[in-house]
Amino acid sequence: MKHRMQSFINLLGLTVGFISCLGILVYVLAQTGYDKGFSDSEDIYRLRTRIRHLDNSTPDSDLPSASPPIAFAMKDDYPEVKEVCRIAYIRELDTPIRPEMSMESQYAKGGYLADSTFFKIFDYPVLEGDVRHALDASDNIAISDGLARQLFGSGSALNQVVVLGAGKEASRKTVTAVFKKDFSRTHLNPNYILPMNTPGLGEFVMNNQNFATQNFIYSYIKLKPGTKAAELERKLPDFLQRHGAGDLAQAGFEKTLLMQPISNIHLYSEGIGPQLDRVSDIKFLIILLVLASAILLVASVNYINLKTAFANKRAKEIGMRKVVGAGKRSLAFQFLGESLLITSIAALISIPLTYLTLPFINTLGQSQLGIKDLLNPSVLLVVCGVTLITGLFAGIYPALVLAAVRPINALKSSQGNITPGSSHFRKGLVVFQFVVSASLVISVLVIMQQLRFGQNMDLGFRQANLLAIHLGTQETSAKFKAISEEFAEVPGVKEVAGTNNYPSQTVFGDFGGHLPEVDPARATTIHYSGISPGYIRTAGMKLLAGRDFRENDSTQTIVNQATLDALEIPLDEALTTTIVNTYEGKSESFRIIGVVENYHYAPLTEKIAPIALFNESRPAWLVLRTATSDYKGLLATLESHWKTFTTETPFDYTFVDRKVQDLFEEEQRLGAFSMVFTGLAILISCLGLIGLISYMAEQKKKEIGIRKVLGASVNSVVLLLTREFLNLIVIALLLAFPLGYFVMNRWLQGFSYQVNISWWVFGLAGILLVIISLATTSFQAIRAALANPVKSLRTE
C-alpha cells in the first residue's frame, strides 16, 4: 500500500502472466487428456500401416488403419491379445435417418460399422439396453444419447425402429442400445454404430482375406495387462510374411505394422491419415507452452526490474533492520516472502478471471473448456507449482541484492543508488523482455503471412460462389440428371454439375495404375473420383490438354498433371496413353482423354498426388456455380425444388469457400493464440517500461529541474529520458531478428507450400515495437519534463 504504483504494476503484470499461462495450461491439459476415459486405456492400441512402394514414383503412405483380416488374425496367433475390434468409417455412411413413424429425415454424421466387440474395448456409459449383444444381428443399431434426443425427444429409444437411407435402399434397424457419447474426450465420436455383418460394406470387410490391400479398416487391439506392446510389435513383420507374403508381392509394395497407443492418437498423428476425427499436433501444444512460459518469464523479469530499481525507496527500512540485528538470511527470506505473497495473490486472482476468459479461449482453440477443466486437480497442482517457481524466480535476485546492502549506504541517503551494479542487470533484463516480444511479433507476422498465402494461393479451382448439395442416397443420385436440369433453370444459378468429392474435399479412394508395358507389381498409387460432364468448367478447373467427358464415356479418364509426372508421360503424348489397373489377376484399361492442371483435394501440408477422374452418372454431390447476393432466397428456392424430387432425403448443402477455410484450421488456431498472447507479452513489457521510466524520472528529478532552469526544452528532456530505452530496444531487435528467423524457418518446413520470410517482416516488427515503446514511455517522460522545476529543486 505504501508503494502503490510499483505494487500495482507488479500485481497487474503477474496477473496477466498467470491468466495467459493458466488459460494455455487448461487448453493443453485438455488436449493431452484424449482417450484416457476408457477403462484400461493404457492397454488399448490402434494398428498403423506404413506402405513403401517398390516404384519410386509413388510416395510412401502412413495410415491409421489396416487390412480387414489383420486384427482377428493377430488375436488367433498371439495369446497376449485380449480383444480386437474393427471400425469402418466411410463418409458415404452419413446417410439419412428417421424414426419409422416419421417422414422427416436428417443426416446423422459419424456412422460406424463395428465388430460386436466394440463395447468390450470402449466402455461408453450405457443409458439404455445391453451393449454385450447390441451389435450381434445385422438389423441392430446402437445410437448416441444426442441422436436419441434428436429422433425421439425425451422418450425411450430402446427397441424403437429407425429407417436408414431412403427409397429402395432404405433399411430398418432396431435400437438395441443408447450410449453416452460425450462422457470423455476421445478421437472416437460415433453417432450410431451398425454391426459389421451389415450387408454391403460390412459383409465385404467380413469376407475379405487380403493382408496387403484395402487398408481402410481402423483396427484396435486390447492387450492383456502386463503385456509389452513393443515385444508384440517386433513379431509383426514375421506375422505379415506368414499370412500375406503372396498378397504383398502381388500388390507391389512393402508393408510395416505398428501399434499406436490410443492416448497418443490425438497429438501424435502428424503425417498419418485419414483420421476418424479431427486431431491436433503436439508441436502446436509445445509452441503454446513456450508462449505461456515466455509471458510468465516476462512478467517475472518485470518484478525483478522494478523491485531492484525501487530498492532506494526502502533504503532506510533495510538499514534500520540491519542496525537492529537483521541478518542477510532473514532479509532474504523477507523479500522472498514478499515475492511469493504477491505471486500467490496474482495466481488466486487469475483463477476467476481465467474462468471469465474461457469462452474466448474456446473460440480461439475451437474447444469446449468449462469449469471442470479449470478446477481439474492436475491444473490446480500445476498452478501451485508454477506459483512457487515464479515466486522464487522473481524474488531470488532482489532478495539476494537487497539483503547484501550495507547499512551505512542504506541510511546515508534515500536517493542514491544502494544497489550498485544492478543497473546493468536491469538493462539486460529489459533487452531480454523485448527480445521475447520482438520474436513473438516476428512469429505472428510469419504465421499470418503463411495463412494468407494458403488462403490466396491458386488451389486449381475457383472456390468463390460455389455451392455443394449432398445428394446423399442412391435414390436421389439416380435422379441427378433431372435435379441438375431443374436447378439450372433457377435464377441465380449459372452452372450445375455432379461429383463424388466436391472441390477441396479429401479423396480417399485409390488404385494401382501402371502403363501397359510396366510390371503391375511396380504400379503407382493413383487416387480416383467421379465427375459428370461439365464439372471441370463448373468448378473452374483448367484443362491442359484433351476434352471433358461426354455422356457415354465409360472407360475413359481425365488425369491431373501429377499423374503424368508420376508415370513419366509427356503432356503431348498423354492423349494416346492408356493407364492399366491390375488387381487379383484382373486388368482394366482406361484411355486418357484429358489432362487437368493440378488442384488441391487434400490438406495443404501434403503435395498434390496423382488423381484420375471418371465419368459418373450418379454422383454424391451437386456442385452449383452461383451468381447472386441473395443466398437466403436462392437456398429457399432450391429446397422447394428439391422436395419435388424427394421427401426422405434432407436438403443438405455447404459453401465450398467455407470448407476451404477448414484446410487452414491448425494455422488459424495458432495464429489466433499467437496474436492474443503476443499482445499480452508486449503489454507486460510496456508495464515494466512505465515503471522504469517513472523510476528514472524520480532519480533524475533534480537534474531535470536544473536543465529546465538553464533553458532546456521539453523535447530535450523527453529525449534524455527515452533515449536509453530506445537504445536497449534496438539491441533487443538485433538479437531477436536472427532468433525469429531461425524459429519460423523451422516451422515453415512442415508445409509443402510455404512463403519466403520477407525482410519487411523484421522491419515491421521493429517499427511496431519502437512505436509502442515510445508511446509507453513518452507519457511519463513528458509528465516529468513538464513538472515545475521549483518543486524538484527544493530541499527535502
For 223-233, the pLDDT digits (tens) are 999 899 999 99
Contact yes or no for 769/731 (Cβ under 8 A): no
Report d(CA 285, CA 279) in Å as an integer.
12
75 and 17, same structural domain? no
Least confident of 78-82, 346-350, 711-715: 711-715
Q: Which of 238-242, 501-505, 662-666, 723-727 has the lowest mean pLDDT?
A: 662-666
Q: What per-residue confidence (pLDDT) applies to 781?
A: 67
Both 99 and 171 in one domain: the answer is: yes
As given in the structure block, the three cell numbers for residue 328 are 542477510
- Confidence class for position 109, pLDDT limits 50, 70, 90: confident
Closest CA to 180 of 129, 120, 112, 221: 129
Query: What is the tally of structural domains in the chain?
Result: 4
Domain co-membership, 259 together with 173: yes
pLDDT of 70 strictly over 90: yes
Going by pLDDT thresholds of 50, 70 and 90, the confidence category of residue 792 is low
**Could you tell me if residue 133 is inside a domain?**
yes
pLDDT at residue 92 tops 60: no
What value does the mean pLDDT take over residues 608-630? 90
pLDDT, position 605: 66
Q: pLDDT-derived band of residue 514, with 50, 70 and 90 as boundaries? A: confident
Say what the pLDDT of residue 160 is: 93
Q: Is 36 helix (H, G, I), strand (E, B) or coil?
A: coil
Q: Is residue 463 included in any domain, yes or no?
A: no
> Is pLDDT above 70 for 793?
no
Decide the pairing of beta strands 218-223 and 611-615: unpaired
Residues 120/497, Cβ–Cβ less than 8 Å = no
Mean pLDDT of 209-218: 89
What pLDDT was estimated at residue 213? 84
How far apart CA 217 and CA 64 sit, in angstroms, is 9
Tell me whether residue 655 is in a domain.
no
Which residue would you say has higher pLDDT here, 430 or 565?
565
- Would you state the pLDDT for residue 67? 92
Residue 543, in any domain of the structure: yes
Between 289 and 788, the more confident residue is 289
Residues 689, 639 within the same domain: no
Q: Under a CB-based contact definition with an 8 Å cutoff, are residues 612 and 526 in contact?
A: yes
Q: Is the dihedral of CA 666, 670, 671, 673 positive or negative?
A: positive
**Residue 126 and residue 241 share a domain:** yes
Q: What are phi and psi for residue 682, nearest 5 degrees?
A: -65, -40
- pLDDT-derived band at 595 (thresholds 50, 70, 90) equals very high
Whether 5 shows a pLDDT value over 70: the answer reads yes
Question: Confidence band (pLDDT; 50, 70, 90) for 317?
Answer: confident
Predicted pLDDT of residue 56: 59
Residue 220's pLDDT band, with cuts at 50, 70 and 90, is very high
Least confident of 410-424, 506-520, 649-663, 744-758: 410-424
Alpha-helical runs (H) found in 219-327: 229-251, 262-265, 282-309, 315-323
- State the angle between helix axes of 665-699 and 759-785 in degrees (0 to 180), rounded to the nearest 10: 30
For residue range 455-469, what is the model confidence (pLDDT) as tens digits?
777 788 888 889 999
Q: What range does the domain containing 27 cover? A: 1-32+282-420
Q: Could you read off the pLDDT of 377-390 as tens digits, one per residue?
A: 888 898 898 889 88
| DSSP alpha helix (H) spans, 169-275 | 201-207, 229-251, 262-265
Do 228 and 126 belong to one domain? yes
Please choose, from the candidates 450, 61, 31, the residue with its C-alpha nearest in 3D space to the C-alpha of residue 271.
61
Interval 407-418: pLDDT, tens: 666 566 544 455
Residues 299 and 403 grouped into a single domain: yes
Is 357 inside a domain boundary? yes
For cell 505394422, the residue is: 257
Question: Does 716 share its domain with 598?
Answer: no
What is the pLDDT, as a whole number, of residue 6?
73
pLDDT at 121: 94
Q: Is residue 277 a part of any domain in this protein?
A: no
Q: Are residues 26 and 46 in the same domain?
A: no
Nearest to residue 419, comparing CAs of 304, 300, 311?
311
On whether both 110 and 255 belong to a single domain, the answer is yes
Asked, for residue 273, whether it belongs to a domain, the answer is no
Name residues whose C-beta falls within 8 Å of residue 796's C-beta, 6 or more positions apart in sequence.
none
Per-residue pLDDT, averaged over 268-277, amounts to: 82
* Structural domain contains residue 153: yes
Q: Mean pLDDT across the stretch 103-130?
A: 89
Query: Rounded to 5, what percent of the chain is helix, strand, coil?
Result: 50, 20, 30
pTM for this prediction: 0.79
Residue 276's pLDDT is 80
Mean pLDDT of the 178-201 span:
90
Write the Ramachandran bin of 589: left for phi over 0, alpha for psi from -120 to 50, otherwise beta. beta
Rg (the chain; Cα; Å):
33
pLDDT at 699: 64
Vertex 42, ends 37 and 47: CA angle to 5°? 105
Average pLDDT, the chain: 84
Residue with C-alpha cell 505472428? 444
Q: What is the DSSP string of 680-709?
A: HHHHHHHHHHHHHHHHHHHHTHHHHHHHHH
Residues 237 and 304 in one domain: no
Q: Decide which of 648, 675, 701 is a domain's last residue.
A: 648
Shared domain check, 225 and 146? yes
In the predicted structure, residue 545 carries a pLDDT above the cut 80? yes
pLDDT in tens, 637-682: 999 999 888 877 888 888 888 877 777 777 777 788 888 888 888 8
Check residues 160 and 791 and name the one with the higher pLDDT: 160
Tell me the C-alpha distance between 758 and 743, whole Å. Answer: 14
Provide the β-strand partners of residue 624: 467, 496
| Higher-pLDDT residue of 421, 771 | 771
Position 73 confidence tier, pLDDT thresholds 50, 70, 90? very high
